[in-house]
Structure 1
Amino acid sequence: MTVQNLPPAVASGIRLAVLDMNGTTVVDGGAAERAVAEALRQFGVTGERLDSALVMSRRSAGLDRAGVFERLFPDDAGTAKAAFRAFAEGYDAMILSGCVRAVPGAEAAVHTLREHGVKVCLATGFGRHTQNSVLEALDWMGLADLSLCSEDAGRGRPYPDMVLTAVLALDIEDVRQVLVAGDTAADITSALRAGAAAAVGVLTGAQPAHELRAAGATAVVRSVADLPSLLWERDAVAAV
């Protein structure tokens, strides 16, 4: 396999890493999709309609979860909000039962990034309570410099708002000092719209390498654990 590198000038200038959570730094064994299905059933979505809705939900990986329910109930804003609340409650219960775990090497990667002077933001399309539940379940409160969810920034992915909010909150001088890593095309699009120097796809979550590259990923690596090598050990990361 060939070596996957960022240009040295880009790598040396990174001062902030915005890392997606579900599928990138943490995995849940499919719990989020089960919670979506349970919420939809509560509102009468069954059979083929449920199957189609779950396909839509999968295709919306990485996007703001509240927005996903708005697309599932396009003509009924009240039901969309109620179904999202049911989803969040069900998913939070699954988190408490132990469904989430860290991607191997993710925690060490965050420590290494920060030790090298790179600030880290953990970002998610789930709500604030859900994000905090994940961080608490993994004992990750305080692991990163900042955690953000869609509602903190105003809009979720594929909009650039979370990346730009992190830039402002952490006093980063230039968006060209930012690396964004995620497992979905939405993560990549958000990074590119924000003007980030690096939009890195990872293969521990929703989408394969060719879809991440098609979205414009500047690099694709097997895992978020590879980010330090991508930045500082120029021959250590194999392309995929």
Structure 2
Amino acid sequence: MFATPRAAARAAARAAGIAVTALCALAVTAACSDSGDDGEQPGRGLITATTMRGALLQASEVGPTWKAPEESADPNQLMSICGGTTTPPTVPPGGQVVAAPLVDEGEKGAQTLEQIALVYGNKSGADAALAGLRGVADGCRKSLSVPAVKTSDRNEPAYTETVEVQPLDEGGWTGFVVIRHKKYEAGHPGTADTAVVVVQTSNVVLVDAYALYQLDNASTGPGFDQDWKKLVGTVVQRVG
């Protein structure tokens, strides 16, 4: 999600003493049910776009301060996987895009959740999409430094960012997660933590990105790891 430049700019520009509002507790956690070796859902066949649309989280389910963003994202582009100034990948061809982006940008915090389901006509289309996105992740630099940027629509201090790619197997969905930790320069203390999850089952690839921004805090946001796992796990379990 995570992480849009506008959201990062707004978070970095907030006054000192910002505290991130914790996510509301979700009642459902990730399930680890068995699935067939080929990734198909036993006894159900292909997953529809309607199913995925109903599985993605709505603002009211995450917390009272969450809402849909005012600006519409490019439907042909995914969120950044590698972070920094790298170009976000385009949507792999052949699939139907189902998206539900959410933001929480109140005075006490800044969080984003970008949810994109890529629904293909068969498993091979989803296989190819996952492989292509994994190729992007494999090319990410493990550490990078970005100078300060100040334009008419973006104001972000200089920062360093670490990137780690980890395999992920969640409730029969397999793929990877890219964990990014951004630390701003000493004159503008703050962090931005992002988890970009790319997982597949059957004919669907789920791309989920949760980002959490903080000022005056040099460590990872409290509960960050648990929150992104819970958000993704809830969607995965809803699909079955």
| TM-score normalised by the chain length of structure 1 | 0.26
Task: Give the structure with the higher percent helix.
Answer: 1
Task: Give the structure with the higher percent strand.
Answer: 2
